[in-house]
Structure 1
């Protein structure tokens, strides 16, 4: 029998990143009509030493150093279930957004900067629906004045900084195993190998939570039924994380249709064509970051067929007519080093005599 662990929460209360925003009420959730899902408090194969709390507990009541973790109540999976469940939760494309219904998406593992709560809850929901025993959540909290730092190729700066982190956890052959493709896309990690990827020993506490991946909650008074990811609101939940994932792929110079489709970084695919300096580049739009539709600074020119060291960008308008300084360049993304005042500009890119069509760039007030 499965127990359920996922609570539906508003995105405003969720930040697996550098912010320290207020948390929502940890007991917000969706009631399940399946009363059977609320009867089992733990994995039936858990050892007799499992002692669940006799009432609700906060993450702060349950947290402690890694060496003091009591994992007997964490659901037990076989090694085969672990391997298959990890691969499926990493690779399955089962989410469609209303604005792009023809393109199925995975859980946004390629947007590590923020959204670990949404990823963990979505993974728990889907694994439960696929008849896996619902995982617990391994929640990592930093001590005062400390930070978690993850080095990753999926961030323009090469690393992200968090105040906390969370991922699904199960027990396999007595070891706590973490399913977190945002940190390690190749395989599940034992918890003692997962933590050093982004934390320093002695600077964090860990809690094993059955019911809550977010806020102050850890154990509810009764198991919380899984609820589907929130994708209906563009400004909240998994929808916002999926939008951010698309944006960061563009900033990184990747083709989102490719990398969020059949060719994620952990899959070997046929190499893409190289840019051709004998053809003009194209400009599609501009970005400042992964979410903003308005442009201010920094300015990323998003397009195609940019050739590093060859492609130039010309900016005209609002009293400006110049070849912009370029900070960095990939085939699909150019980061400008120049600053421009608010206003409208025309931008072209050129590979020598091969010039793109002009595109209007509107710089907004910061």
Structure 2
């Protein structure tokens, strides 16, 4: 990779496959919108590539996108890979994360050439349209603080140009702890801790498409429900982590949460609340707790929460 990286102006762009404007528009919409992936644990809920998990997984998204472009008989894109220079960083501001921003050690996305211009297909950075590479880079980097390479075969740091071209491989979905399956699980969890409905956003109503059904509103005359708990580490609740109570029909200013166990029996202090998620930042000791949510006198089923 060191042999081909450098400033954008010095890259050998002529090697990048050419698409027509029609292929660019159609291909971008297909790879952004089509629900192509079926997880073993969600056989009836096919998923798009995890564009809403911007913090990590760009390599898996890029490789999966190129697999489908190849399958659909598009000229297989190259990869545009960006690395920050020493002591620099790539910073992307996004509402897809609780922190509102992510620091990347590198970033990569498919790239093609249209009318002689490099166009990047990266719906995690810009879901509305493909971006000219000169417009894509400033979304997360500062001029002069990065190197960029155009890689034929691989999104990863190594194997950028192999002696023999590598055919795109299908996404691996059987191991939930690795690859794009892990990124899909992360994307789901992110929607929950952001207080969004993953069934809606990852189903028929992604944020970049019009939705036929309006977002429902909470009903104070019905009880809330608790589905699960999450932390900022996405799964178990470790000590010192905020607690995200995930469910539905939480009503800001009305819903309360009672936590009992490990010597505790109290209404928890609620820091934030919307229809799908309650945030509690108070630290509780390790142990098993019973958690119930109330809309006035209307109670949810009680659920066990474990803090490690």
Q: 2:72 aligns with which of 118, 123, 130?
A: 130
Secondary structure, counterpart of 2:38 in structure 1: strand
Distance 2:167 2:71 in 1: 11
CA contact (8 A) 2:118 2:133 kept: yes
TM-score (norm 1): 0.81
Residues 60 and 216 of structure 1 are in contact (CA less than 8 Å); yes or no, is this contact kept in structure 2?
A: no
2:231/2:238 contact within 8 Å kept: yes
In the alignment, structure 1 residue 327 sits paired with structure 2 residue 257: no
Q: What does 1:1-366 correspond to in 2, within 5 Å?
A: 59-269=1-211, 270-289=213-232, 291-293=234-236, 295-296=238-239, 297-364=241-308
For 1:282 and 1:125, the matched residues in 2 are separated by 40
Alpha carbons 1:62, 1:218 under 8 Å: kept:
no
Secondary structure of the structure 2 residue equivalent to 1:60: coil
Separation of aligned partners in 2, 1:344 and 1:148: 40
Q: Aligned to 2:190, what secondary structure does the other structure show?
A: helix
Q: State the Cα distance separating 1:121 from its structure 2 match.
A: 0.1
Unaligned runs of 5+ in 1: 1-58
Report the CA distance between 1:326 and its aligned residue: 1.9
Contact residue 4 and residue 11 of structure 2 kept, 8 A: no
| Structure 1 range deviating more: 271-280 or 84-93 | 271-280
Can you list the C-alpha shifts for 1:241-283, whole angstroms capped at 9, x where unaligned?
A: 1111111111111221111111111111121221122222111
The alignment covers a number of residue pairs equal to 306
> What is the distance in 2 between the residues matched to 1:353 and 1:128?
57
C-alpha contact 2:237 2:243 (8 A) present in aligned 1 = no
User: Does the 8 Å CA contact 2:82/2:148 hold for their aligned counterparts?
Assistant: yes
Q: Is the 8 A contact 1:287 1:300 kept in 2?
A: yes
Aligned equivalent of 1:56: none
- Measure, in 1, the Cα distance between the counterparts of 2:236 and 2:287: 15
Counterpart Cα distance in 1 of 2:254 and 2:18? 56
* Structure of greater relative contact order (alpha carbons < 8 Å, 6+ residues apart): 1
State the distance in 2 between where 1:147 and 1:329 align: 33
Q: Which moved more, 1:72-81 or 1:309-318?
A: 309-318
